[in-house]
Amino acid sequence: MNIELYKKISSMHGPSGNEHNMKAYMKEALKDADEILEDRMGGVFGVFKGEKEGPKIMICAHMDEVGAIITDITKDGFMKITSIGGVNPEVLVSSNVNIETKDGKLIKGVISSIPPHISKDNKLAIEDLTLDIGAISDEEVRNLGIEIGCFVSPVDYFYVTENGKRMVNKAFDDRMGCAIVLELIEEIKNIKHPNTIILGGTVQEEVGLRGARVATPLVNPDLFLTIDVSPMMDYLGKPNEGALGKGFLLRYFDPGCIMPLKLKNYIISLSEKNNIKYQMFRSRGGTDAGAAQYTGYGTLATTLGVPGRYIHSPASMVDLDDVNSVKEIAKKIIEDFDNDKLKEILN
């Protein structure tokens, strides 16, 4: 496992609609693919052909992170923002952020702290918050290249926990998935398989699975697997809703995608045969699989989940063993899946 890779890409700035840094990195990593595909929204994918004319397996992660966008600049040099994706305003209070200027420079600022007795109905709204870079006028802000529509993301503070078992940073949803895809790009060169594998990254997942809707028709995959991070509730005393350290998440149900029974049984069998730890997981949110399943006449689609604590915040946490279990089951599916397995699941 390449810890430096996980640090580098989770630290990148890239809210939904502003994924160009991650796309450039992903595209460079795909340079040895048999073919590179790009959609007009910003998704990028590499095609890796196997030894036979087997099924097309698309394995993706979304490159965007939750964040904010500037909606106003006041005469006193403060900025107002609105959220991009599911952001709890309380998470942003007093947090340090990066603003990307129109020239691509990152400028640091801080989100204001609002006393609870003056917030709306004692419940904080993102419109109550102010972004402060220390400027004294709107002219100073604009001269720095900041304007309405500039994107905002948390400042990165990556570290490995003292016991060496877990990592913490912003944007693990879904840069963990991206890192796993990037490692698969390297490892697929040494994997013998009969399939056509499509690896890459989608955009704008956090704002409605938008990128997957345009990416999957490029490929019309027989099997679509998205690698994504899901929130665990073990720290609230709810281990049945997922826990760190217990293996990848077999997402059998979420509001947007129900895993086909035969596909679920296939992944369980493959996991147990290869001693890969997994946990059954019912999610309250959706992933790109929910959009991909509508491709063509319908596509087999599911999520291989990375357990995560405190996601959609500047300090999410994942377990290294869980991350490795996701990568291992993805590799086994690449090796094992073929036309016969596809027919068995579809019939």
What is the CA angle 225-42-191, rounded to 5? 40
| Confidence band of 339 (pLDDT split at 50, 70, 90) | very high
Give the tokens for residue 160: 């490995």
Give the tokens for residue 246: 């217990």
Mean pLDDT throughout 110-138? 82
Give the tokens for residue 168: 């913490």
Range in 71-75, 141-145, 179-183, 234-238 with the lowest mean pLDDT = 234-238
Q: Residue 199: which H helix or E strand, with range? A: strand 196-202
Query: Is the sign of the CA dihedral 39, 44, 49, 54 positive or negative?
Result: negative
| Confidence band of 210 (pLDDT split at 50, 70, 90) | very high
Mean pLDDT throughout 58-71? 97
- Residue 343 CA, chain-centre distance (Å), reads 30
Q: Give long-range contacts, CB 8 A cutoff, 24+ apart: 329-332.
A: 329/248, 329/267, 329/270, 329/271, 329/274, 329/276, 329/278, 329/304, 330/59, 330/180, 330/184, 330/225, 330/227, 330/304, 331/184, 331/187, 331/191, 332/270, 332/271, 332/274, 332/276
pTM for the whole thing?
0.94
CA distances to 80, 82, 114, 174, 208 from 117, rounded to whole Å, are 20, 21, 8, 35, 34
Distance CA 290, CA 310 (A): 23
Nearest to 68 by CA among 99, 101, 110: 99
Give the tokens for residue 184: 């698969």
Distance CA 203, CA 215 (A): 9
SS3 call for 220: coil
* 100 has catalytic annotation: no
Bridge partners, residue 79, by sequence: 73, 131
Mean pLDDT throughout 129-150? 97
Give the tokens for residue 44: 């990028």
Candidates 183, 205, 241, 328; catalytic one: 205
- Residue 84 CA, chain-centre distance (Å), reads 14
pLDDT tens for residues 4-49?
999 999 999 999 999 999 999 999 999 999 999 999 999 999 999 9
Distance CA 174, CA 156 (A): 14
The residue whose two tokens read 């490692």 is 183
pLDDT tens for residues 73-100?
999 999 999 999 999 888 888 999 999 9
- Residue 95 CA, chain-centre distance (Å), reads 21
Q: Are 78 and 127 within 8 A, CB to CB?
A: no
Nearest to 48 by CA among 222, 175, 193: 193
CA distances to 62, 201, 223, 297, 343 from 195, rounded to whole Å, are 23, 19, 11, 20, 14
